[in-house]
Structure 1
């Protein structure tokens, strides 16, 4: 049975503001001072093209696709709700997952179009990149996949789904942390994204889950207070 995090721990407004401000500052620092040098280092070490073994290559590619594993797990939860017994047990989790996936998908598309960042390496249709052309920058509302580096969709979905699962199953927190770290390691090892892209995606992913669960809790508390008020009125009438 899912066990939820205490509201005071997970949704303290002051702590939340500090948390997001710190992550925002770290993301900006990475974009301005780390991303390009790190991309050069990874390329020079041949992490993206010539791994020391096929096992290492396969392992890092698997890590880079961490969100797929979480999406499969989320899909299994949603499908399980077709069974009445499972629906009663996982209905709230399924609702949180569905809403988080929907919001994360919309935010991902909008954010990539809004920021329009070029990629660290050339991957599709000779897209301009830092490694090939020494070009790195943000081009708001530029069209095409060549400008879809920021934020990382892989990090966004991984952190969004892992955050929801963490809230409902905190006893498996080490598993959710491993998923979060895994997508960073896999994406960086392949040089698919800048570190700043991954940080930005992780912040947005956590925020999506945070908003969904926070809204759900607010609605639940409102319903509880209303029901309590009705109960008191009914007792006073008797």
Structure 2
């Protein structure tokens, strides 16, 4: 099973790298990425303002919006994994490889979907300088990738369930915490920091069912409203 998860991790890391190379070849669109990221960040912060204001859910919400579903740059983490892949699969337990693999898939898929969305905004809807809610929704529909957007939400839920399961296993949780110094010395601190942030956030929450249901239901509702032309 570990070999399967390791192969999946490498595949998704290389997928993300391929997307970054594709973006580098399209300078016009790349220059507009910050605009899209800012718009999405504002949208997510507004959608989940209640969770961000809730002491119990705030850390997990912030982690989701920055590390899983948000605009962060994951290239350093992915480059570290690819560079040290043969070592990582030997020293990291399978459950961490599994978690990292699904995180990499979610990040790669999100990058692909967002770049296609940006291309539609800039190329067909005059979204070079500003993005409106109406234009964003129209670009979503024109991209016509509903099933991939549903898969994106499903991956988000899977990641949350995985993190939630791990934090209730003290040995696993403590293993990640103890990897901090070895990870820095070995050159994969970006990966360790990512996992540690996630585990800390979910450990603080002490139960993720309501949180995950809120995220999934809201994102699904927004997606369905967009495709029904009701942004």
TM-score normalised according to structure 1 size = 0.30
Larger Cα-atom Rg: 1
TM-score normalised according to structure 2 size = 0.31
Q: Which has the higher helix share?
A: 2
